Amino acid sequence: MECISVFDMLKIGVGPSSSHTLGPWRAAERWIKELKTANKFDKVETISVDLYGSLSLTGKGHATDYAVMLGLSGANPETIPTADIDKTVAAIKNTKTLLFNGEKSLVFNTETDIVFNRKFLPFHSNGMTFTAIINGRKSKSTFYSIGGGFVVKEERTNHKRNFEIKCTFPYPIDKGTELLQFCKNLNLPISQVVLENEKSIRSEEDIDSELQRIWDTMLECMYIGCHTEGNLPGGLNVRRRAYDIHQNLKGERPYNNPVEWIYSIRDTEVKFRQIIKWVSCFALAVNEVNAALGRVVTAPTNGSAGVIPAVLMYYLVIENHDGNFEDIKRFLLVAGEIGSIFKKGATISAAMGGCQAEIGVSSAMAAGALTELLGGTPEQVLVAAEIAMEHHLGLTCDPIGGLVQIPCIERNAMGAIKAINAAELALDTNPENVKVPLDKVVNTMWETAKDMHSKYKETSEGGLAVGVYLTDC
Ligand code: SF4
pLDDT tens digits, 259-289: 999 999 999 988 888 999 999 999 999 999 9
What pLDDT was estimated at residue 157? Answer: 39
Q: How many of the other CB atoms lie within 10 Å of CB of 165?
A: 15
**C-alpha 306 – ligand 1 centre gap (Å):** 12
pLDDT tens digits, 172-205: 999 999 999 999 999 999 999 999 999 999 999 9
Beta bridge partners of 143: 128
Ligand 1 pocket test, candidate residues 308, 349, 352, 359, most atoms within 8 A of CB: 359
CATH assignment of the domain containing 405: 1.10.4100
164 confidence band (pLDDT: 50, 70, 90): very low
Q: Of 164, 186, 211, which marks where a domain is finished?
A: 164
The answer on 260 and 384 residing in a single domain is yes
**C-alpha 412 – ligand 1 centre gap (Å):** 9
CATH assignment of the domain containing 81: 3.30.1330.90
User: Has residue 196 been placed in a domain?
Assistant: yes
The answer on 193 and 160 residing in a single domain is no
User: Has residue 219 been placed in a domain?
Assistant: yes
* Residue nearest to ligand 1 atom 1, measured at CA: 397
The answer on 333 and 287 residing in a single domain is yes
273-310 as b/e, with b when 16 or more CB fall inside 10 Å? eebebbbbbbbbbbbbbbbbbbbbbbbbbbbbbbbbbb
**C-alpha 348 – ligand 1 centre gap (Å):** 11
d(CA 382, CA 387): 9
**C-alpha 325 – ligand 1 centre gap (Å):** 30
What pLDDT was estimated at residue 185? Answer: 98
162 confidence band (pLDDT: 50, 70, 90): very low
Beta carbons of 434 and 385 less than 8 angstroms apart:
no
Question: In the chain, what percentage of residues exceed pLDDT 70?
Answer: 96
The range of the structural domain enclosing residue 67 comes to: 14-164
Q: What DSSP line would sit under 364-384, residue for residue?
A: HHHHHHHHHHTT--HHHHHHH
**C-alpha 271 – ligand 1 centre gap (Å):** 31
- Which numbered atom of ligand 1 lies nearest the CA of 396? 1
* Contacts for 236 with CB less than 8 Å, ≥ 6 apart: 400, 401, 403, 405, 406, 470, 473
d(CA 370, CA 279): 13
Beta carbons of 69 and 106 less than 8 angstroms apart:
no
The answer on 277 and 149 residing in a single domain is no
Q: How many of the other CB atoms lie within 10 Å of CB of 471?
A: 5
Ligand 1 pocket test, candidate residues 21, 355, 410, 468, most atoms within 8 A of CB: 355
**472 pLDDT exceeds 90?**
no
**C-alpha 411 – ligand 1 centre gap (Å):** 8
469 confidence band (pLDDT: 50, 70, 90): low
Three-state SS at 231: strand
CA atoms within 13 A on the CB side of 326: 4
**Rounded mean pLDDT of the chain?**
94
* Residue nearest to ligand 1 atom 4, measured at CA: 397
Beta carbons of 53 and 61 less than 8 angstroms apart:
no
Q: What DSSP line would sit under 93-126, residue for residue?
A: HHHTEEEETTTEEEE--HHHHEEE--SPPSS-SE
**C-alpha 200 – ligand 1 centre gap (Å):** 34
d(CA 64, CA 70): 10
**C-alpha 39 – ligand 1 centre gap (Å):** 39
**167 pLDDT exceeds 90?**
no
Beta carbons of 238 and 231 less than 8 angstroms apart:
yes
The answer on 316 and 200 residing in a single domain is yes
471 confidence band (pLDDT: 50, 70, 90): low
Rg of the chain over all Cα atoms, to the nearest angstrom: 22
The answer on 373 and 265 residing in a single domain is yes
**C-alpha 459 – ligand 1 centre gap (Å):** 10
**Alpha-carbon 388 to chain mean position:** 17
User: Has residue 384 been placed in a domain?
Assistant: yes
Q: Region 117-145: what's the mean pLDDT? A: 94
Q: How many of the other CB atoms lie within 10 Å of CB of 432?
A: 6
- Which numbered atom of ligand 1 lies nearest the CA of 354? 3
* Contacts for 343 with CB less than 8 Å, ≥ 6 apart: 4, 9, 147, 148, 150, 300, 361
**Is-cis flag, bond preceding 407, omega within 30?**
yes
Closest CA to 286 of 215, 357, 338: 215
* Residue nearest to ligand 1 atom 6, measured at CA: 408
pLDDT tens digits, 368-386: 999 999 999 999 999 999 9
Question: In the chain, what percentage of residues exceed pLDDT 90?
Answer: 91
**C-alpha 460 – ligand 1 centre gap (Å):** 10
Global pTM reads 0.93
d(CA 51, CA 115): 6
Beta carbons of 278 and 265 less than 8 angstroms apart:
yes
* Contacts for 81 with CB less than 8 Å, ≥ 6 apart: none
Q: Region 220-228: what's the mean pLDDT? A: 98
The answer on 193 and 135 residing in a single domain is no
The answer on 215 and 129 residing in a single domain is no
What pLDDT was estimated at residue 473? Answer: 54
- Which numbered atom of ligand 1 lies nearest the CA of 302? 8
* Contacts for 361 with CB less than 8 Å, ≥ 6 apart: 300, 301, 304, 339, 342, 343, 348, 389
d(CA 10, CA 216): 13
pLDDT tens digits, 69-110: 999 999 999 999 999 999 999 999 999 999 999 999 999 999
- Which numbered atom of ligand 1 lies nearest the CA of 355? 3
**22 pLDDT exceeds 90?**
yes
* Residue nearest to ligand 1 atom 2, measured at CA: 355
- Which numbered atom of ligand 1 lies nearest the CA of 395? 2
* Residue nearest to ligand 1 atom 3, measured at CA: 355
The answer on 424 and 317 residing in a single domain is yes
What pLDDT was estimated at residue 470? Answer: 60
Indicate the number of domains in the chain.
2
**166 pLDDT exceeds 70?**
no
Residues with Cβ within 6 A of ligand 1? 303-304, 350, 355, 358-359, 397, 399, 404, 407-408, 411, 458
145 confidence band (pLDDT: 50, 70, 90): very high
The answer on 104 and 218 residing in a single domain is no
**C-alpha 148 – ligand 1 centre gap (Å):** 12
User: Has residue 171 been placed in a domain?
Assistant: no
Ligand 1 pocket test, candidate residues 58, 236, 358, most atoms within 8 A of CB: 358
d(CA 241, CA 229): 8
Q: What DSSP line would sit under 413-438, residue for residue?
A: HHHHHHHHHHHHHHHT--GGG-SS-H
The answer on 374 and 236 residing in a single domain is yes
Q: How many of the other CB atoms lie within 10 Å of CB of 107?
A: 12
pLDDT tens digits, 290-318: 999 999 999 999 999 999 999 999 999 99
**C-alpha 48 – ligand 1 centre gap (Å):** 28
- Which numbered atom of ligand 1 lies nearest the CA of 58? 5
The answer on 373 and 324 residing in a single domain is yes
Q: Of 139, 164, 189, which marks where a domain is finished?
A: 164
Beta carbons of 291 and 405 less than 8 angstroms apart:
yes
pLDDT tens digits, 413-467: 999 999 999 999 999 999 999 999 999 999 999 999 999 999 999 999 999 999 7
What pLDDT was estimated at residue 239? Answer: 97
